[in-house]
Chains A and B, each alone.
Chain A
Amino acid sequence: MSRSLSDGPGLDASEPMRPADHADSAAEVSQPALGFVGWLRWGWRQLTSMRTALVLLLLLAIAAVPGSLVPQRSADPNGVTQYFADNPDLAPILDNLSLFDVYTSPWFSAIYILLFVSLIGCVIPRTKHHWKALRAKPPRTPARLSRLDGHRCEVVELAPGTDASAAAESAVERAREQLKRAGYRVERYDSASALSVSGERGYLKETGNLVFHAALVGVLLSVGVGGGFTYTGQTVIIEGRTFVNSMLDYTSFNPGRFVDENALSPYSLTLDRFDVTYQPYGSQGSGQAGDFVANLTTQRAGEEPQSGEVRVNHPLEMAGDRIYLMGNGYAPTITIRNADDEVVFSESVPFLPQDTNMTSLGVVKVPDGLSEQMGLVGFFYPTQAPLDSGAFTSAYPDLVLPVLSLDVYVGDLGIDDGTPRSVYTLDPSGMEKLAGRGTGVASLELAPGDTAELPGGYGSITFENEASDSADGYEGSVKRYVSLSIHRDAGAAWVLVFAVLATAGLLAALFVPRRRMWVKVTPQGHTLRIEYAGLARGEDPTLEGAVAQFAQRHGESLQTPPTPRVD
Chain B
Amino acid sequence: MPETTALSLDSVSVLLVWTAIAVYALAFVAYAVDLARRGAVAVDAKDAQVRELAAVGAAREGAVAQLQAQERASEAALNAPPSQRPRLVWARIGTSLTVLGFLFHLGADITRGVAAGRVPWSNMYEFALTGTLLIVAVYLGVLFRYDLRFLGTFITGLVVVLLGGTAIWFYTDIVPLMDPLKSVWLVIHVFVASLATALFALAFGLSVLQLMQARRERRVAAAAVASDADGAKQGPGFLRTLPSADALESLAYRFAILGFIFWTFTLIAGSIWANDAWGRYWGFDTKEVWTFVIWVLYAGYIHARATRGWRGSRSAWLSIIGFTAVIFNFTIVNMFFKGLHAYSGLS
Q: B302-324 CB contact bits vs A (8 Å, 1 = yes)? A: 01111111110000001000000
* B308 with A313: CB separation less than 8 A: no
B296: contacting residue among A50, A57, A485, A489, CB under 8 A:
A57
Bound form: Cα–Cα A75–B279 in Å: 12
Bound form: Cα–Cα A312–B276 in Å: 8
B285 contact set on A, CB distance < 8 A? 75
* A74 with B293: CB separation less than 8 A: no
A232 contact set on B, CB distance < 8 A? 279-280
B296 contact set on A, CB distance < 8 A? 57-58, 60-61, 64
CB proximity of B186 to chain A, nearest CB, Å = 9
* A23 with B176: CB separation less than 8 A: no
A503 contact set on B, CB distance < 8 A? 261, 264-265, 268
* A61 with B261: CB separation less than 8 A: no
Given known pairs A1-B247, A51-B309, A291-B179, the reply for A75 and B304 (CB within 8 Å) is no
Bound form: Cα–Cα A396–B273 in Å: 30
Given known pairs A313-B276, A541-B254, the reply for A499 and B292 (CB within 8 Å) is no
A75 contact set on B, CB distance < 8 A? 283-285, 339-340
Which B198-229 residues sit within 8 Å CB-CB of chain A? none
CB proximity of A43 to chain B, nearest CB, Å = 19
* B338 with A288: CB separation less than 8 A: no
Bound form: Cα–Cα A449–B338 in Å: 42
CB proximity of A354 to chain B, nearest CB, Å = 17
* A285 with B303: CB separation less than 8 A: no
B303: contacting residue among A53, A64, A313, CB under 8 A:
A53
Q: Does B277 contact A (CB under 8 A)?
A: yes
Q: Does A320 contact B (CB under 8 A)?
A: no
CB proximity of B49 to chain A, nearest CB, Å = 25
A500 contact set on B, CB distance < 8 A? 268
Q: Does A347 contact B (CB under 8 A)?
A: no
* B75 with A1: CB separation less than 8 A: yes
B144 contact set on A, CB distance < 8 A? none
B-contacting 9-mer, from A65-73, A417-425, A431-439? A65-73
Q: Does A451 contact B (CB under 8 A)?
A: no
* A54 with B338: CB separation less than 8 A: no
* B182 with A312: CB separation less than 8 A: yes
Q: Does A257 contact B (CB under 8 A)?
A: no
B337 contact set on A, CB distance < 8 A? 68-69
Q: Does B43 contact A (CB under 8 A)?
A: no
Q: Does A22 contact B (CB under 8 A)?
A: yes
A-B pairs with beta carbons under 8 A, tally:
154
* A61 with B338: CB separation less than 8 A: no
Bound form: Cα–Cα A510–B310 in Å: 19
Given known pairs A57-B296, A103-B284, A506-B264, the reply for A315 and B180 (CB within 8 Å) is no
Bound form: Cα–Cα A502–B174 in Å: 39
CB proximity of A210 to chain B, nearest CB, Å = 15
B257 contact set on A, CB distance < 8 A? 510
Q: How many residues of A contact B (CB 8 A)?
A: 64
Given known pairs A23-B308, A74-B284, A79-B338, the reply for A68 and B289 (CB within 8 Å) is yes
* A284 with B173: CB separation less than 8 A: yes
Q: Does B253 contact A (CB under 8 A)?
A: yes
Q: Does B11 contact A (CB under 8 A)?
A: no
* A64 with B250: CB separation less than 8 A: no
* B284 with A324: CB separation less than 8 A: no
Given known pairs A3-B250, A79-B338, the reply for A313 and B182 (CB within 8 Å) is yes
* A495 with B290: CB separation less than 8 A: no
Q: Does A24 contact B (CB under 8 A)?
A: yes
Q: A479-506 CB contact bits vs B (8 Å, 1 = yes)? A: 0000001010100100110011011001
CB proximity of A60 to chain B, nearest CB, Å = 5
Q: Does A12 contact B (CB under 8 A)?
A: no
Which B19-74 residues sit within 8 Å CB-CB of chain A? none
Given known pairs A51-B307, A290-B176, A290-B178, the reply for A1 and B281 (CB within 8 Å) is no
CB proximity of B5 to chain A, nearest CB, Å = 13
* A67 with B284: CB separation less than 8 A: yes
Q: Does A322 contact B (CB under 8 A)?
A: yes
A250 contact set on B, CB distance < 8 A? none
Q: B73-104 CB contact bits vs A (8 Å, 1 = yes)? A: 00100000000000000000000000000000
B158 contact set on A, CB distance < 8 A? none
Given known pairs A68-B333, A74-B284, A313-B183, the reply for A23 and B300 (CB within 8 Å) is no
* A57 with B307: CB separation less than 8 A: no
Bound form: Cα–Cα A314–B279 in Å: 10
* A58 with B300: CB separation less than 8 A: yes
CB proximity of A287 to chain B, nearest CB, Å = 11
Bound form: Cα–Cα A284–B265 in Å: 34
Can you name the residue of chain B whose Cβ is closest to the Cβ of A540?
B250
Which B245-283 residues sit within 8 Å CB-CB of chain A? 246-247, 250, 253-254, 257, 260-261, 264-265, 268, 271-273, 275-283
Which B155-207 residues sit within 8 Å CB-CB of chain A? 173-180, 182-183
Q: Does A309 contact B (CB under 8 A)?
A: no
Given known pairs A76-B338, A291-B179, A312-B182, the reply for A322 and B279 (CB within 8 Å) is yes
Given known pairs A1-B247, A279-B176, A313-B277, the reply for A499 and B284 (CB within 8 Å) is no
Q: Does B297 contact A (CB under 8 A)?
A: yes
**Among A54, A290, A312, A539: residue with most chain B CB under 10 A:** A54
CB proximity of A165 to chain B, nearest CB, Å = 40
Can you name the residue of chain A whose Cβ is closest to the Cβ of B305?
A23
* A54 with B183: CB separation less than 8 A: no
A21 contact set on B, CB distance < 8 A? 307-309
Given known pairs A61-B293, A313-B179, the reply for A74 and B283 (CB within 8 Å) is yes
Bound form: Cα–Cα A297–B108 in Å: 47
Given known pairs A61-B300, A487-B279, A487-B280, the reply for A54 and B175 (CB within 8 Å) is no
**Among A71, A322, A507, A510: residue with most chain B CB under 10 A:** A510
* A50 with B303: CB separation less than 8 A: yes
A23 contact set on B, CB distance < 8 A? 305-308, 310-311
Bound form: Cα–Cα A342–B336 in Å: 55
CB proximity of A398 to chain B, nearest CB, Å = 15
Can you name the residue of chain B whose Cβ is closest to the Cβ of A282?
B1
Bound form: Cα–Cα A105–B206 in Å: 38
A64: contacting residue among B280, B292, B304, B307, CB under 8 A:
B292
Q: Does B234 contact A (CB under 8 A)?
A: no
B182 contact set on A, CB distance < 8 A? 290, 312-313
Q: Does A265 contact B (CB under 8 A)?
A: no
* B179 with A290: CB separation less than 8 A: yes
Bound form: Cα–Cα A23–B246 in Å: 14
Q: Does A460 contact B (CB under 8 A)?
A: no
A22: contacting residue among B3, B271, B299, B308, CB under 8 A:
B308
Q: Does A292 contact B (CB under 8 A)?
A: yes
Bound form: Cα–Cα A1–B278 in Å: 46
A312 contact set on B, CB distance < 8 A? 179-180, 182, 277
CB proximity of A493 to chain B, nearest CB, Å = 10
Bound form: Cα–Cα A79–B339 in Å: 10
Q: Does A178 contact B (CB under 8 A)?
A: no
A324 contact set on B, CB distance < 8 A? 278-279
Q: A282-301 CB contact bits vs B (8 Å, 1 = yes)? A: 01110011111000000000
* B307 with A54: CB separation less than 8 A: yes
Which A64-99 residues sit within 8 Å CB-CB of chain B? 64-65, 67-69, 71-72, 74-76, 79
Q: Does A25 contact B (CB under 8 A)?
A: yes
Q: What are 6 A-B residue pairs whose CB atoms fall within 8 Å in the complex?
A: A1-B250, A21-B307, A74-B283, A312-B180, A500-B268, A503-B265
- Besides A18-B306, A51-B309, 20 other A-B contacts (C-beta < 8 A): A1-B247, A23-B305, A23-B306, A23-B310, A50-B303, A53-B303, A57-B300, A61-B297, A64-B289, A64-B292, A67-B284, A75-B339, A79-B338, A232-B279, A313-B273, A315-B279, A322-B279, A489-B275, A496-B271, A499-B268
Mark B residues whose CB is within 8 Å of A: 3, 75, 173-180, 182-183, 246-247, 250, 253-254, 257, 260-261, 264-265, 268, 271-273, 275-286, 289-290, 292-293, 296-297, 299-300, 303-311, 318, 333, 337-340
Which 6 residue pairs spanning A and B have beta carbons closest together?
A: A285-B175, A312-B179, A50-B307, A57-B300, A324-B279, A68-B289
